[in-house]
Amino acid sequence: MKILVADKISPKGVAYLRQQPGFEVIEAYGSSPEKVLELVKDVHAIAVRSETKITREVFAAAPLLKVVGRAGVGVDNVDVEAATERGVVVMNTPAGNTIATAELTFTHILCGARPVPQAAASMKAGQWDRKSFGGIELFKKTLGIVGLGRIGGEVAKRAQAFGMRVLAYDPYLAPSRAKAMQVEIATMDEILAQADYITVHMPLTEDTKYMIDEAAFAKCKKGLRIFNCARGGIIKESALVEAVKSGKVAAAGLDVFEDEPLAKDSELRTLANVVLTPHLGASTAEAQESVGIEIAEQITDVLAGGVIRNAVNMPSMDAAAVKVLGPYLDLGTKLGTLVQQIAPKQIATLRITYFGKVVDLDANSITRAIEGGFLRRISGEEVNFVSAPFFLQRLGIAAEVIKSNADSGYSELMQVEAVAASGEVFSAQGTLIGRGNQPRIVGINGREVEVAAEGKLLVLENLDQPGMVGEVGSILGRDKVNIADMSLSRLTPGGTAYMVVRVDTEPSESARKIIKEHPAIKLAKFVQL
């Protein structure tokens, strides 16, 4: 079997692959996209870091490909949807760089308090300038952590050791978990208003992009120090530049950027009190050796038909089981992410019910797929099908699984319910249809619908009155959004109706605003599967 190592991983990882009988290892670092397309024609596995992009075109050109392994956490450079469609396993190494990234974050925090890089540069230039490089202490200052996942939690421990007060914003985190970590839960506005230091540790999603922008900086204390070693785009760079120039932000540290590599003429490079590093979060000898060996072992296991570990698009199981369960895992993942997007941010219970033939399958694997789908937009690339139960537990969400003998009206059906603390339930149901086992959504919030479980959906609840379909269609038409599919449902004439519209492209913010503000529309959610 042929393995392409497209990006430079630990030599020990490459050596491990070469030691396996029957493996041919090709090291092709820095290859152009055209060269990658040529190389993958007969490969069975690809190992990458973050440089090489494994696109839909790459998957199409690689008929023998079974697995893509990312030596690190983020899989931004891999088209996971295209991989899943072709049955290719995509794996990462989520725990390998936790300590490295947490320590780099705290290094930036310390450099924001005491301008050591600037003072060191001054000394190298032959100067002795003690007056220009005064700093402040961390002791008794307030640190706001935005996102209290694995890395955010490690940063919190280090801040507490320095005697800092730690505020944490994580809309999905249960208060009991925050109490156990000895941090104070706060709203985003409270963090902005109270923090002397802010560090962000969120995945980059539609909800988190530019979550710290001009409006956010306006709410902050003068003299704020802010840091991002998570994902570029969480902090709006143009807003940060203006906040630094105005004096609102006294210091900043960035390891990640909206576009990488950072442009040579970026204004960030001109700001003396902003420390920049070139995406070094996982760049320690220990972390790189760990993830390099780990991904080599995981790739070997997959090619040998063994257990799949740390997959982002399927749970841990052997290759034969993946072939049988693949369609169910895909449907489960999509039902999970659908329910998460229509439910409130804080829920008490995730309840999964199986009906019909699916009861006799490996429900544990399908459950992990549903849980992973539910967490995908919350915990980002840190979560996979192995770690999903842990992440639910960390958020204080109880998981319930029910195998029902009741007649659902389908030969097999999955139902996913997010139960809020108030008892309110948000749900979705799905099944597989046709020879190709195509995933279909057949129920949302207790209403019967039927729409393909793919792409982009508008989920609308509206007053049941004439002309609503035409009005929504006209709004989308003016926005140049094509409707691929539509399903309508109502309980009683003249009451409320559900409209699920599958669209080819995402409606603009202005079009969504018009839909949401329509007097007859009670609920409007844009969902991405």
The residues annotated with a catalytic role in the active site are 231, 260, 279
- CB-hemisphere CA count at 13 Å for 263? 7
Provide the CA 98 distance to its chain's centre, in angstroms: 16
Q: Is 223 helix (H, G, I), strand (E, B) or coil?
A: coil
Nearest-10 Cα torsion for 56, 60, 65, 71: -20
Rounded Cα–Cα distance for residues 2 and 16 (Å): 14
* 315 in Cβ contact with 94 (< 8 Å): no
Which residue from 5, 154, 150 is spatially nearest to 73, judged by alpha carbons?
Answer: 150
Q: How far apart are CA 172 and CA 392, in angstroms?
A: 9
Residue 466: asked if its preceding bond is cis (omega within 30°), the reply is no
d(CA 245, CA 27) in angstroms, rounded, equals 45
**Whole-angstrom distance, CA of residue 89 vs CA of residue 385:** 12
230 closest CA partner among 288, 151, 135, 344:
151
144 SS3 class? strand
Helix or strand run (H / E) with residue 430: strand 425-433
Asked if 249 and 241 touch (Cβ cutoff 8 Å), the reply is: no
Token couple for 136: 């402040």
Q: Are 164 and 143 in contact (CB under 8 A)?
A: yes
Q: Rounded to the nearest 10 degrees, what angle do helices 285-303 and 98-113 cross at?
A: 160
